[in-house]
Amino acid sequence: MTKTVIIGGNFAGFTAALELKRKGGKDHHVVVIDRNDDFLFIPSLIWVPFGRREVKDITVPRGDIFKKKGVEFFKAVALEVDPDRQVVITDRGEVAYDHLVVATGPKVDFDVAPGVKEYAHYVGTPIGAMKIRESLEKFKANPGPVVIGATQRAGCMGAAYEFVFNFEKWLREQGIRKKVDLYWITPETYLGHFGIDGMTGAETMLKSFMKMFNIHFRTEVAVEKMTDKEVFLSNGEKLPYSFSMLMPPFVGVDFVQNSPKLGATGAGYMPVGDDYRHPVYPNVWAAGIAVDVKLPFKPGKVPFSSPKTGYPSDETGKIVAENIVRVEKGKSELVHKPWGKIPGICIMDAGKKEVVILSNNLFKPRSFAVMIPNVIYDFGKVLFEKYFLWKTRHGLSFLP
């Protein structure tokens, strides 16, 4: 029996585990190692600070799902891997493998600039989202200027865009919008770049949104430092604030960086081919955020990265599972799909409004790309959330 160990159990790891067991059947022993018990639907964290969702609404216990599907769940912290011995070292002992899938997600670099860790809020974790909720209660009583956006080297601009529009809507609901100067800051060369070199109409649409909601914006700026009262930008501006939320850059997790034989990049991501297989160790694979992605564009004067969450994570999890099954069947022809050729599928929430983003390729060149605004209600985003949580609870990873 072939034993595959998967490090990480959220989008990429969860999908890879269930798909590998579904396709490999009794010939495959699949083990998922993760430090947390629950699957978290991260896209909905933007709603938690505003009370539209509770954390429990967007979490799904993994254990029972894996057990029903024949996947072993090992709750532990993966510390490093020795690919020559084919052993993963965890805080609960060593785990041997025939194949290893690294689907670890990101580590957030809060040290991107002095003061960011101490003063900026971050919506990308349940703890961070709940801290924002607490801060908003205090902010309501004493509103002031607000700075929201992404720092230099960030790649998850989409979530920050969603947050700023939801925040603006919350201000109106609280009756304090006129008391707040709202600023958006981004390292992007233009609004709507998203780290994918933009799409037709993206810049025009985002500019119209900023004007419609009276949001001041700054592009191609880095955060030089933060104090408890001001954000210092690379263009020389000092923006005062009473509340801030910034998306820092992602880097590879300690597990990858503590495993030197994997040859991680400077940012701590794993080098793989278009089949998501390691170039030196053919039984080591990566999926999701752990993959080292080469940027197809040149950032401007401020560096930034590309998004690796959501659909690409799910898709690479499926590709890796399929390729491992093929390898074990003795097939030499594997699935090859460069990251940039994965379709772009996203629904960006804009405060009970939304923009549906679709393209045949994530990166250019594209033969099809469209952004469809829905200014009536964000029912597409809500329906997608319900659908994904439903398929997750039932372990139906093969569905789109």
Note the pLDDT tens digit of each residue in 93-145.
999 999 999 999 889 999 999 999 999 999 999 999 999 999 999 999 999 99
Arithmetic mean of pLDDT, 338-363: 94
Q: Which domains does the chain carry?
A: 2-108+250-336 (3.50.50.60), 110-249 (3.50.50.60)
Residue 391: pLDDT band (50, 70, 90) is: very high
Those residues whose C-beta lies under 8 Å from the C-beta of residue 339, and which sit 6 or more positions away, are: 291, 293, 308, 312, 316, 362, 363
The overall average pLDDT reported for the chain is 96
d(CA 135, CA 167): 13
The pLDDT of residue 309: 84
For residue 351, is it left (φ>0), alpha (ψ between -120 and 50) or beta? left
Structure tokens at 138: 């205090």
Phi, psi (rounded to 5 degrees) for 188:
-60, 150
Structure tokens at 281: 């160790």
d(CA 116, CA 110): 6
pTM higher than 0.85 for the full model?
yes
The pLDDT of residue 298: 84
Those residues whose C-beta lies under 8 Å from the C-beta of residue 353, and which sit 6 or more positions away, are: 165, 373, 374, 375, 376, 377, 378
Arithmetic mean of pLDDT, 259-284: 96
Nearest residue to 148 via CA among 238, 247, 60: 247
d(CA 341, CA 364): 8
The pLDDT of residue 360: 95
Contacts of 200-204 with CB under 8 Å at 24 or more apart are: 200/369, 200/370, 200/371, 201/371, 202/371
Q: Is the pLDDT of residue 297 over 90?
A: no
Q: Is the pLDDT of residue 310 over 90?
A: no
The percentage of residues in the chain with a pLDDT greater than 90, rounded to a whole number, is 92
